[in-house]
Structure 1
Amino acid sequence: MYSLFVLCMFVVAVTAQTTTSSLTIIDYLTARRSTNLLNLIQQAGLTDTLKGSGPYTLFAPPESDLANLDTTDKAKLAALLKYHVANGQYKRADFYNEMSLTTLQPSSELRVNVYLAKGIITVEGQTVQSSDVVMSNGIVHLIRGVMTPPTGTVLDVVTKDANLTTLASVIKTASLETFFQDQKPITLFAPTDAAFNKLGSATVQALITDPALLKSILQYHVVPGTIYRASYHTSYLHTFEEADRIRLHQFLFFSYEADSGSMVGDELSATNGVVQVIDEVLIPNSLSAQVKALTAGTTTAV
């Protein structure tokens, strides 16, 4: 009973305080009984690293999320774990919006976002939940979920997604491929193929014949900055279409909207931003009359 009391007091002490102790990151995880994370760190060959001098910043996902990870591919597992460790020691006060952190995984950086309106910090979209936990060789931040390294630009995310084939096609028609590769950081609200079907084949085909209008419609779906769902509250944001603002809204607890489009599936991180998949094609007010005029006298049924 006494040993259990001492262990509990240790966890409370290192969790609550922000001054460096002689204990390492591995010591902290052991005391906290982060069994799943410790096992994965060992399998990934990172135990000695996180016992070493560092300094490192570890972003530790919940134990429940780690229990479901596939550990059959050891190289993939090691890459994932290394992605959760940044070189250097970063407290919450050190973070700023759109900050990039180098990680132990070569050529993979972590994007930090600070959303002042909601008073939260995210790393690759995962909310940082804890106060600073400083050890002798670095710092630990508890985060809401497992982070997945982005594997390409916003354009790459779109072209690889089987549900976004129409969007990929009209991006090419509007000559926006370079924009979605090079512009950063951006958030794309990406209509699915079903969303384009809902808009109607006549309207879609008419837009394809008017690349300038199509370009403006697509640019309305893009917001400067990386806007993860954790930051959402009712707000009106400038888009690259410029004349109109897009309305972001969180409905209840887990439903998110951009104008009238509901977000579906997971948010998809990219090297230059994030893709939020939505179930409608959004038409800004300033362009709605032009879009309707395209199909005047014809049916928009699919």
Structure 2
Amino acid sequence: MRMFLFLSLASLFLSAPSLEAQCGSKKTAHQAYKQHTERQTVAYHDNHRTHRPDLVETALANGNFKTLTTALGSAGLVSALQAKGPFTVFAPSDAAFDKLPAGTVQSLLRPENREALTAILTYHVVKGAYNAERVTRQSGAATLNGQRLPFDTASGVRVGRASVVQADIHTANGIIHVIDEVLLPSDQNLVQVAAGTGDFETLIAAAKAAQLDGLLANQGPFTVFAPTDDAFAKLPKGTVQNLLKPENRNQLAEILKYHVVKGRVFADEAVGVGSAHAVNGDDLQFRLREGRLNVNQAKIVASDVQAQNGVIHIIDRVLLPN
């Protein structure tokens, strides 16, 4: 009998979990419970956290941007402006769109004009957070369209031709500034813009003779340092006429390519970078002399002339490669 009782107790002792195992089990259970509680707490706060609206939601809630939000939908840009960002939107009010010629908005909203609508809308958006203070400290900024939007604070705060009527509407992914005009980017290519000024007849004739006019009209974006007709007239007598001869086409093309840089290089950026690689393979040097930006030995007499596929800086002499 005693032997049976002893064996039964021994069996019970051996089959029971150790004190260490019991403590470990309780500890594991406690940790699991704690982690579960923490997850529930985080989930609760996530579900009850105040949602900060993004750019599109803010515009919709405002009530003064019905045309703008409709246009964003037609252009397929809603999701782009709901991305992380940040973006700065110079947002024309409904009253600003009403200033456009009759039928303009309806025409732009047609599916066949989606590309033109997209070009206009992206001209109102700058990557980065530009609050009012930053806008007043800069001369302009490149837009998602690629073209540059000039800032002017001489009389109020102006963005292109528009005035900022309400600034610094902060959203979850950027800033909105309300403007009173719709901004229209250039829809002309580099050759068309140059031809429209009347100051580049020699340059255009040279581009055609060198068979570069198609490149400058249809490709890009490019930055063109464009010598005026007066600049070409400074060359030794007979130089231009000689270069325009068919047998000198390659030499002419090399000279013209020395005036072209791939991409858009705006004037304030040129000061910072110091140089740029021309299409012909040589480098152009940028320097400030007497408060004016120079490229090599030429003065830039007018800068940041916008084109649909690039930017033009007007210079006072012809650049000659090595």
The TM-score with structure 2 as length reference comes to: 0.53
After superposition, residues 33-44 of structure 1 pair within 5 angstroms as none
**Which runs of 5 or more structure 2 residues have no equivalent in the other structure?**
1-50, 82-87, 129-137, 152-158, 160-166
The residue type equivalent to 2:283 in the other structure is: R
Cα pair distance change 1:230/1:25, threshold 3 Å:
farther
SS in 1 for 2:207: helix
Structure 2 residue 53 is matched with structure 1 residue 20: yes
Aligned residues: 224
What whole-Å deviation, never above 9, does each CA across 1:110-157 have from its counterpart, x for those lacking one? 478989xx9x9521212699999326xx85455999854222222222
Cα pair distance change 1:166/1:72, threshold 3 Å:
same
Shift of residue 59, structure 1, vs aligned partner: 3.2
Partner of residue 261 from structure 1, selected from 298, 303, 306: 298
Structure 2 residue 313 is matched with structure 1 residue 273: no
Q: Identity over aligned residues, as a percent?
A: 23
**Which runs of 5 or more structure 1 residues have no equivalent in the other structure?**
1-17, 31-37, 83-101, 287-302
Distance in structure 2 (CA, Å) of the matches to 1:125 and 1:186: 13
Partner of 1:205: 241
SS in 1 for 2:187: coil
Distance in structure 1 (CA, Å) of the matches to 2:280 and 2:176: 38
Distance in structure 2 (CA, Å) of the matches to 1:50 and 1:180: 31
Shift of residue 190, structure 1, vs aligned partner: 1.0
What whole-Å deviation, never above 9, does each CA across 1:204-227 have from its counterpart, x for those lacking one? 122223221111000000001111
Quick check: which has more Rg, 1 or 2? Answer: 2
Shift of residue 229, structure 1, vs aligned partner: 1.9
Cα pair distance change 1:125/1:147, threshold 3 Å:
farther
The TM-score with structure 1 as length reference comes to: 0.56
The residue type equivalent to 2:279 in the other structure is: F
Cα pair distance change 1:114/1:252, threshold 3 Å:
farther
SS in 2 for 1:199: coil
Shift of residue 199, structure 1, vs aligned partner: 2.3
Distance in structure 2 (CA, Å) of the matches to 1:153 and 1:169: 16
Distance in structure 1 (CA, Å) of the matches to 2:237 and 2:295: 22
Q: Is the 8 A contact 1:262 1:279 kept in 2?
A: yes
Distance in structure 1 (CA, Å) of the matches to 2:116 and 2:244: 45
SS in 1 for 2:287: strand
SS in 2 for 1:247: strand
Partner of 2:28: none
Shift of residue 170, structure 1, vs aligned partner: 0.6
Q: Is the 8 A contact 1:113 1:226 kept in 2?
A: no
Structure 2 residue 185 is matched with structure 1 residue 149: yes
